[in-house]
Copies of this chain bind each other. A is one copy, B any other.
């Protein structure tokens, strides 16, 4: 079977590219599960119920989120009704929203959840290693394979989680840096891994934002409005092939350019 994991969707360009691309990709590549990180889908900051719904209609089976999960006002209420959306699993207990999703296709039950890293991250979260262990144990028997997203900054933390779950998860795939890494691998002959699958949105940019204001801020430290960029729109994703017992056999990174 095959799952496609689409990295951080940024703003309207990112959303439009997902809508325009997902159906064709699914057919051409024989994809069973489409999962996408939508933490930057609403103008670069968070997501809304309406946007989540539109991504779902475009063919995305499950939407994950990251440290920007609560950037949009009111989403803490919306999330409760969205059955195909999960927030990071290692947020404190009081946070609303599902901490995991189970998506079933042709009798295969894919567990999907995200853990936030704790190195260089603003949002404080519980230990991602123990949180992943706990979820896998608690849900044992209810899923046939697990895709664990590590939404984190530090490569050390991402690699460590990959090795920690190697042999137990179908895939450990990273997001958050918005830059794909050239390190796809199947760890210990079982677990598809990539430090970061990259972002979906305008690449003539700094992480999807217009270059000038971000660069200006690096130069003088003064605040500016960060608009979403427009040029060089691309979808970034990892395509994982796996067996009926949830063992990854290959992982391929792909980018689809707009237009």
Contact = CB atoms under 8 A, between A and B. Distances in A.
Interface of A: 70, 76, 91-95, 118, 120, 123-127, 129-130, 153-157, 159-161, 163-164, 177-183, 195-196, 198, 203, 205-207, 211, 214-215, 218-223, 253, 255
B211 A160 contact: yes
A178 B154 CA distance: 10
Nearest to A91: B221
Contact of A95 (B154, B180, B221): B221
Instruction: Enumerate the 4 nearest inter-chain pairs by beta-carbon distance, A residue then B residue, closest first.
Output: A94-B220, A180-B182, A182-B182, A120-B120
12 contacts: A70-B223, A91-B221, A92-B221, A95-B222, A124-B127, A125-B221, A153-B154, A159-B205, A160-B211, A182-B198, A182-B253, A183-B198
A129 B219 contact: yes
Given A94-B222, A153-B120, A223-B70, A159 B207 contact: yes
A125 B126 CA distance: 9
B160 A206 contact: yes
Contacts of A198: 182-183
B120 A76 contact: no
Given A127-B124, A183-B180, A220 B92 contact: yes
A235 B91 CA distance: 38
Contacts of A118: 124
B181 A180 contact: yes
B123 A126 contact: no
A195 B179 contact: yes
A119 to B, nearest CB: 8
A73 to B, nearest CB: 9
Contacts of A154: 153
Contacts of A123: 221
Given A155-B207, A214-B160, A130 B181 contact: no
B178 A215 contact: no
Nearest to A96: B222
A70 B217 CA distance: 12
A209 to B, nearest CB: 9
